[in-house]
Structure 1
């Protein structure tokens, strides 16, 4: 074999090895590469957000259902992140891929369990991009706060539309859970009337720090037992093998502080309600107690999908809900880029949540019925000044 041929073979082999190394590196660093392409590339301070929604109009809502009767609960549901990023810090309301993800995946899988207990209201909002949750830069935090302002405006329109006596169910997943927790702090904590009407607040897959309950959320306790109402029901879930996801949940995630800022949850303790037990407990719940998961992609939110029961056991530990790999492949997470930051296209605890919110709604309805029979509260006492006593003369002496 000639030296030239050997050299060509060596060069070809080197190119193949280099290509293989590049492919391996691209695979190993695929999440980092993906993040790079999702960066809007402009500071939030100089960023022009997309146009917002008018919540007085039907177009401002994905769903705004009519009420069947005067006592039917009103459900305020905030959807999770469906916009990945790239061009904007906050998603456009009419971006086709984001809208399709909400209507085809989120509403039938995640909103429907709560919609079965009341009239569903799900606002459109300029959600912070997935990229804004993959890092904790100041720009990313600003994008989250901007999205929350939309949710606040939507909730204020919601309360104006439903009247001042109807029971309320709050529910949110992921970014939506963070926003629901914000509403508890900004709208419910200082309003005794809203607290009275609250069935429960479901903050799912967004960490809820325990220090909030010793501060501004003191009037609204966690849902300790299955019978509690006017409480907070929350969990963030992972399998024991998902080390990166556990690290994100317990250390890298941010949530509200007692003074209304966003800060890391590390060291603050997290609320964990086990959905198989409907209670705050470190007890292990076996798969026999699992009421069922649902893969309802593409179904109408009003449809009643058939749950797949007995799929997973679950246990709360260190503020995280640890669950076992479901038996059905329909309930296995897909292998997408940055999957640790996403919600799967199914709801593993669909039937458990549907049953839970129905029970708590019935409990609050009974409590409200009893409370309405009580005598009205006395008005605030009035202060009366002491008056001098003037003796009446004894006229018998005259």
Structure 2
């Protein structure tokens, strides 16, 4: 067999092997890129500058209407006031904290966050929704000191907004505190730093709704003294909180229970692992571990892309839910519109729907009615009588005879 024949036979085979190897290499690279997609996404969102040398965007002035997405109408005395804090919509890249005028971040708030997560409270109260320099999504995808600092920086804006809110609503109106995702973290900080230690404000609190937010149980023994988990649907001055996951979302469960940071009793942020998490089942409206079947589910809404104030009809009986080890475990909804999309960094994002929209809407209405009943009874209650005073017998002294 001649060398020429061998070369003629082997050359096409070698070429095919090169093609096969190239295809296999491309497949391996694609698989690696898919497996590491969140890490790659992180790399592109890194501001590339330590927070210590970073110049934050200009601060909001909450005396100005421009510092609010909504600043509620207080003309109806029967309406509560709702302080709502939106979630994360700014990915990062150029800033640790979002500029107030970032168009893409604000559009996402107005067309997704507010229609899905703020709208349920409209039937109970008038909404006050502050703009704030939210921490970038990148700050939540790792627990670097810079990311922690970006979160505490955003929390200061929200506390300032709450102070302006309290000044605006007067001295008697009941109020609701609500937040979703990052907004829930900052709303929790408001409860710790502004409400729990102020007896007058605490009495006016209808309830707090911290949705897709991890709330460590140790806070109720310390900084949340006087505010309790909502143990019953009619309870007031309490917190409804949950972070949800599906049974096959192992990575999300790990992030929620191990890698998420929340407020410490003595201030600052720390991991929630080992601290126990509050889970109030939104279908049942109470803190229990009972399973809530889908037939009790009042309805989810997929309002992504809707203008604030406009929402589709709720889709009921979509999912069952049960609190398991502090996480709200949900069944796969029947409607594809209420299932998590496969976006980059999805485990750190708010979904483009609210699976418990109608449950939360009715819950807020019921707790406001309950608060009014309780407040009326408290106002009409007869104050406790002072303890009786002991009176000692007076000594009897004879009156001298004037004749003597």
TM-score class, shorter-chain normalisation, is over 0.9
Task: Please list the CA deviations of residues 111-153 of structure 1 after superposition, one character each: whole Å capped at 9, or x if unmatched.
Answer: 0001221000100000000110011110000000000000011
Give 1:300 shift: 3.8
Q: Secondary structure at the match of 1:279?
A: coil
Residue 19 of structure 2 is aligned to residue 21 of structure 1: no
Residue 233 of structure 2 is aligned to residue 226 of structure 1: yes
Match runs of 1:333-344 below 5 Å: 333-344=340-351
CA distance in 2, matches of 1:64, 1:353: 21
Q: Give the corresponding residue for 1:58.
A: 65
Q: Give the corresponding residue for 2:44.
A: 37
Give 1:282 shift: 0.6
CA distance in 1, matches of 2:91, 2:403: 100
TM-score w.r.t. structure 1 length? 0.93
CA distance in 1, matches of 2:86, 2:383: 39
Q: Give the corresponding residue for 1:101.
A: 108
Q: Give the corresponding residue for 1:127.
A: 134
Q: Give the corresponding residue for 1:206.
A: 213
CA distance in 2, matches of 1:148, 1:7: 62
CA distance in 1, matches of 2:301, 2:11: 64
CA distance in 2, matches of 1:189, 1:378: 28
C-alpha spacing 1:374/1:57, structure 2 compared with 1 (3 Å)? same
Q: Secondary structure at the match of 1:122?
A: strand
Give 1:293 shift: 0.3
Query: Does structure 2 retain, via aligned residues, the 8 Å contact 1:292–1:351?
Result: yes
Q: Secondary structure at the match of 2:186?
A: helix
Give 1:370 shift: 2.6
Q: Give the corresponding residue for 1:166.
A: 173
Query: Does structure 2 retain, via aligned residues, the 8 Å contact 1:38–1:87?
Result: yes
TM-score w.r.t. structure 2 length? 0.91
Query: Does structure 1 retain, via aligned residues, the 8 Å contact 2:303–2:311?
Result: no
Query: Does structure 2 retain, via aligned residues, the 8 Å contact 1:222–1:231?
Result: yes
Task: Please list the CA deviations of residues 299-354 of structure 1 after superposition, one character each: whole Å capped at 9, or x if unmatched.
Answer: 34333531100000000010000000000111111110111111111100000000
Q: Secondary structure at the match of 1:176?
A: helix
Return 322-331 or 290-299, whichever deviates more: 290-299
Query: Does structure 1 retain, via aligned residues, the 8 Å contact 2:301–2:311?
Result: no
Match runs of 1:283-294 below 5 Å: 283-294=290-301
C-alpha spacing 1:7/1:39, structure 2 compared with 1 (3 Å)? same
Return 65-74 or 42-51, whichever deviates more: 65-74
CA distance in 2, matches of 1:162, 1:378: 34
What is the total number of aligned residue pairs between the two structures? Answer: 389
- RMSD, matched Cα: 2.2
Q: Give the corresponding residue for 1:313.
A: 320
Give 1:395 shift: 10
1:83 pairs with one of 77, 90, 93: 90
Q: Which runs of 5+ in 2 are unaligned?
A: 1-7, 388-396
Query: Does structure 1 retain, via aligned residues, the 8 Å contact 2:320–2:330?
Result: yes
Query: Does structure 2 retain, via aligned residues, the 8 Å contact 1:117–1:361?
Result: yes
CA distance in 2, matches of 1:366, 1:219: 19
Return 23-32 or 182-191, whichever deviates more: 23-32
CA distance in 1, matches of 2:75, 2:298: 27
Query: Does structure 1 retain, via aligned residues, the 8 Å contact 2:115–2:311?
Result: no
Give 1:7 shift: 4.7
Compare CA radii of gyration and give the structure with the larger one.
Answer: 2
2:359 pairs with one of 352, 377, 381: 352
Query: Does structure 1 retain, via aligned residues, the 8 Å contact 2:246–2:329?
Result: yes
Q: Secondary structure at the match of 1:316?
A: strand
Task: Please list the CA deviations of residues 208-233 of structure 1 after superposition, one character each: whole Å capped at 9, or x if unmatched.
Answer: 11111111212111100001001011
Give 1:67 shift: 1.9
Q: Give the corresponding residue for 1:136.
A: 143
Q: Which runs of 5+ in 1 are unaligned?
A: 382-390
